[in-house]
Structure 1
Amino acid sequence: MARAFTLGRAPCALSGLGHLVSPEVPRRAPAGPVAAVATCLHVRQRMGRGGGKGKGSGKGKGAGSQKPTDDPNFVRWSKNMRLQGSPSGAVYVVEDYVASGSFSRVFRVHEAKRWGERRVYAAKVMRKEDSYIQYTSSGPKEGELLMRLEAAQAAQEQEVLTMRCLDSFATKDDAGQEYWCLILEWLDASLFDIVRANGHRGLHLSMVRILLRQLLEQLKVLQELKCTHTDIKHKNCCLANTEHYLAPSSGGPTIILTQPLAKFIDYGNAVFEGDKKPHPIHTKQFRAPEVLLNVRMGWGPASDTWTLGVTAAFLVSGQLIFNSHDPTELLRLMRQALGPFPARLLAAAQDNRMRKAAELAEGGVEPQLGSWLNLAGKGPAEAACADLLLRMLALDPGERLSAEEALRHTFIADGGDGEKAPIPPKTSELRYLGAS
């Protein structure tokens, strides 16, 4: 039987941002471990438990190309393992394993208490300090950054959209080895997951606008703190809730989220101005031109605008616009989509081979991005969206919009022509990603 649904009742209304979604279990839990919240880099398939009496991995750094989590003894755990050490005295009980990344394992946990509502959280467990290739990870630093971002929004009386870190402390695994634990709000599927569930077709433009606005608000706080996330991508943006209905569209039924709220995850490699900068950064398909060319002035917060622009283009089209692992091919695709590389950018390139590839890349004078995304020659909302993405993806980082400037763009400010989400059919049922 279909449930009644009113757009205005959503905690994060389609017409605006609404209030923060609490880190409680959704009204109906999604099937399977879809909360890949705060994993570092690549999430693996579900693995075996690794409980038992074996010795832990001990201290030390990740070496060569082996990720810290490649060690089979990294975080020896078992169901109902108790994560202790919180300054508040709270104890968190492991319910299940969720995901693994380069530096951490993520578990579904709840706080051990006799009374009150049981809330589910994500526990990100890692070594206190670790390294892998050019990257470093610091558990305490990541926790402090998340709390600082939340405090910055609260101080400005802004809605707190950043993923919340509720606890940060040293703990031990089943083998008695020491780790650092972050207790994070439980999030749901990633933007990659929701687009995949939509048949790898772009989302409705109203969904793109709302999700992009929320992510720009979070990026604005990062940029005000002169901090670069360094790994924004579709798999590092997670939804607080996947409740949705299917609305008719020209390409077939399309997903409309009833409570759209997206948040960045994985702040473990964030870099503040003045910190040592690793090179390169970004997942390859999201890598900014200043990183590919290794320009003299280096990369900075503007590179996050680029990666968010690539993520937004993915939401529009359902595809990665720069889908290659070959750096020269990435430059060629950028040239075709965005026009000629600015002379100033090429002059600053320290990688001569990549500079030559950028100079030789073929393409027309006019950017083709709007056509690639099927936005050209349509209505005002599509034109406004294409214009914003071109400005977020300016090849010269000095010409790229900041998050604050992007929030003032007409596509975000009024949706171009104020396009709204389709009203659900009377027979529409609310669904959840992963639910049968």
Structure 2
Amino acid sequence: MDIHEYQAKELLQKFGVGVPRGGIAYSPEQAMYRAHELSGERCVVKAQIHSGARGKAGGVRVCSCEKEVMEAASWMLGRKLVTHQTGPQGKLVSRLYVEEATDIRQEIYLGFVLDRKEERVVVVASAAGGMEIEEISANEPDSIIRSVVDPAVGMQNFQAREIAFQLDLDPALIPAAVKMITGCYRALRELDATMVEINPLVVTGAGEIVALDAKMAFDDNALFRRPDISELRDKSQEDPRETYAEDRGLSYIGLEGRIGCIVNGAGLAMATLDMIKMAGGEPANFLDVGGGASPDRVLMSFKAVLNDPNVEAILVNIFAGINRCDWIAEGVVRAVQELDLDVPLVVRLSGTNVAEGKRILDDSGLDIATADTLAEAAEAVVAAWKTSITAEEAV
């Protein structure tokens, strides 16, 4: 789960991380009031969306008076900002963060992330801040500092000092940098975060170290014990297809293709996506219906897939172990009947109660194509999809 910049700053501030003064606004008038509260000559209006590169899309503006704040807020609110991270659909701006302008003397990149290969928290830092980490690694690879944290002892002060010294900081700022680095690590560890990124971390003209921007992501599986973090979730920033599925306990990831997939087991689901591509199609989603799926759960899976308006065919691929093919078949029949399904459907069943499952499909009298192997199912659904597209174009 991702959160907004202002929320990340509020959390990090509790762990001793310095941040500029600012306030949230939901309207141009409120933004102007926030700027007045800061009582500074210059302030920054920032669109709050779950994406980087906001500045390049016009989502970050430096304003020198309240009138400019009003104009910037009016332009941003209600607009969909399109960045290279959001894709062409963009993300809706429904709130702004108005922050005092900072006199920047030095910019630094600082990130903490769970490295699955190392099975450790890894600190990634660079004296070349202000850019995305991908740009830094491409343009200035020698500037990348990488430090692995031993989970048995956590981030130690000496380790934080080593990182701070490599960032070319003024020696007088090393204690403040150590406090910043250890504070970020404690926030990540104690809040079940999977990522903390401050870019840029800046040294101000007054010699202070502050987080000018902040991003945090959290482990979805730990939210049950972090209700205060769970409350920070903004569903308007998430893929509505994935939100619908997650709220119903389904493992779903939206893709860009046209063929919807309902599969049990993550490995089989990945193989199904590959087979669809090999057959000449493009999958619209990854969906793992899970073990012991009831007919109701299968029906919910169909609804989740059909929430994507781009879906033009559906493949159901079930290898039943814990699951039962007759349950799946009952769910498929219910889905076709209740949802008035009007796209090609191919079902491949194998495993527990497969004979009964196939009988239920055959006796339904519905237009449901079946296949015995995954390869046959993938080829059948791609062929059915192409035929339906050709028929629509002919009309």
Q: TM-score, structure 2 length as denominator?
A: 0.29
Which protein is bigger by CA-based radius of gyration? 2
Higher relative strand content: 2
Structure of greater relative contact order (alpha carbons < 8 Å, 6+ residues apart): 1
TM-score normalised by structure 1 residue count:
0.27
